[in-house]
Structure 1
């Protein structure tokens, strides 16, 4: 109970719970949409989904400041690739939160002459570019981890937290050396694995909104729910969060 209270006291923790609820409702409403006699339930689920989305916008009002501070920190990184990817990602997050704030102002009718569709499109673009830079960072870190594992394998040593040689690894190694090194790299770096999966799942939503890859609310709901659960895990256990 103490850990749950500590989790919900964090703004990120509450946002992750709201986000998981939002995408769970999206998924359930899609599944039940064509079921006879479920019309009222579907409407309730869509209403809850809308409320969760509005609540998350309210929680995110101060996130622009955090994104600015993150940009200041990332620009100090000594690795030029990490510096570029993370700074560019954070700058796009700043623009995304700016668009998000404008949409919240419009949703509460503080300003009425704002085009929701135009600002949603801008927000989706900024979110999309931010995710692309985060994924580029993930791929760069994966490449570095694979190179480290390859060097250790050549020296016959173990660079990970556990044994690198067992029957499954031997079969995989004999099948494809690249897959074997990739497997070891992700196995020995759970934060990197979780962050990569999370960013790939998040990418589907802006791809759909921008028209690059049209899908259905059910698939977006599944990916959003998986991403939210991974986000909850990283907030609950900071050791699972990728540092740079």
Structure 2
């Protein structure tokens, strides 16, 4: 119970819970949409989904400041690749939260002459670019993890877990050897695995809205739900968060 209270006291924890509910409702409404006698249930699910989305926009009003502070912190990183990827990702998050704030202002009718689709498209673009830079960071971290794994294998560590890398030049260059090192690297570094899966799942939503990869709400709901659950896990257990 203490862990749950601590989780709910965090703004990110509440946002992830709302997000999981939003995408779960999207998935369920898609599954039940074409079934007879489920019209009222589908309407309720879509109403809950809309309310969760509006609630998240309200909770995210202050996230722009957090994204700006994250940009200031990432620009001071000594690693140039991490510095560039994370700073670019955070700056795009600043723009995304700006667009999200404009959309919230329009949704509550504070300003009526805002073109919703135009700002929604801009928000999707910023979100898409932010995810791309986060995935570039994930790829860079995975490559470094694979280098460490390859080095440890060459030194004779964990020989029982798979083939040695220094047995022959052909084996080192084989696809099977590459795949083995990749899997071992992800196994030994769960945070980068969870972060990569989360970002890949999140990527389908802006891809769909921008028209790069058209899919159905059910698939978006599954991806969003998986991403939200992984986000809940990283908040509940900070050791699983990629820093």
Instruction: List alignment gaps of at least 5 residues for structure 2.
Output: 164-170
Give the match for residue 242 of structure 1. 242
Query: 1:11: Cα distance to partner?
Result: 0.3
Give the match for residue 165 of structure 1. 160
State the distance in 2 between where 1:105 and 1:198 align: 29
Residues 16-165 of structure 1 mapped to structure 2, 5 A cutoff: 16-158=16-158, 165=160
How many residue pairs get aligned? The number is 235
Give the match for residue 198 of structure 1. 198
C-alpha distance after superposition, 1:21-55 (max 9, x if no partner):
00000000000000000000000000000000000
- The ranges of structure 1 where at least 4 consecutive aligned residues each deviate by more than 2 angstroms after the TM superposition are none
State the distance in 2 between where 1:90 and 1:165 align: 42
State the distance in 1 between where 2:225 and 2:9 align: 21
C-alpha distance after superposition, 1:180-231 (max 9, x if no partner):
0001100000000000000000000000000000000000000000000000
Query: 1:157: Cα distance to partner?
Result: 2.0
Query: 1:154: Cα distance to partner?
Result: 1.0
C-alpha distance after superposition, 1:72-102 (max 9, x if no partner):
0000000000000000000000000000000
State the distance in 1 between where 2:175 and 2:114 align: 57
Calculate the TM-score normalised by the size of structure 1: 0.94
State the distance in 1 between where 2:211 and 2:152 align: 44
Give the match for residue 161 of structure 1. none
Aligned-pair Cα RMSD in Å = 1.4
State the distance in 2 between where 1:210 and 1:175 align: 35
Query: 1:175: Cα distance to partner?
Result: 7.2
State the distance in 1 between where 2:157 and 2:29 align: 51
State the distance in 2 between where 1:106 and 1:197 align: 33
